[in-house]
């Protein structure tokens, strides 16, 4: 083993020959050659054009929040469209929790604090 510049280099030598072959130099050359190859450049181009997996799929909690927001917005719109009082909608929110006890969306829905007015 040769040590130079803080790195260990693996070397191979034959006892009867007067030459040594550095594996470190070979690996560095191979890596440098690969980086310059068209195969590597094409892979980099492909990676840059490919969307990340987390932009394709939403997490379960994100989907749940989207459903809650959609339900709350729908209730607010329904209230405004039919000119119902917001107090009656608070009752509706509580009623939905009783009607759909196994629904995570119904459990988390709230209409308290909505300040929309009919236009």
Contact 116, 80 (CB under 8 A): yes
Helix axes 38-49, 23-36, angle to 10 degrees: 60
Task: Confirm whether 71 is domain-assigned.
Answer: yes
Query: Would you state the pLDDT for residue 72?
Result: 79
- Mean pLDDT by groups of 10 residues along the chain of 119 residues: 48 48 70 88 89 74 79 80 71 76 78 56
What pLDDT does residue 31 have? 84
* pLDDT score at 115: 54
Whether residue 69 is found in the same domain as residue 44: no
Q: List, in sequence order, the alpha helices (H) in 11-85.
A: 23-36, 38-49, 53-56, 60-81
Range of the domain at 89: 60-108
pLDDT of residue 6: 47
Based on the domain organization, do 42 and 66 belong to the same domain? no
Does some domain include residue 82?
yes
How far apart CA 73 and CA 70 sit, in angstroms, is 5
- Same domain? 41 vs 71: no
Give pLDDT, residue 10: 54
């Amino acid at each position: 083993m040769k040590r130079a510049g803080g790195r260990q280099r693996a070397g191979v030598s034959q006892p009867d020959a007067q030459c040594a072959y550095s594996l470190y130099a070979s690996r560095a050359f191979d890596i440098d050659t690969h980086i310059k190859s068209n195969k590597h450049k094409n892979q980099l181009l492909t990676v840059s054009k490919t969307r990340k997996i987390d932009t394709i799929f939403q997490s379960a909690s994100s989907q749940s929040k989207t459903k809650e927001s959609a339900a709350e917005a729908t209730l607010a719109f329904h209230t405004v469209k039919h000119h119902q009082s917001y107090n009656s909608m608070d009752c509706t929110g509580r009623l939905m929790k009783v009607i759909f006890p196994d629904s995570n969306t119904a459990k988390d829905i709230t209409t308290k604090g909505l300040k929309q007015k009919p236009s």
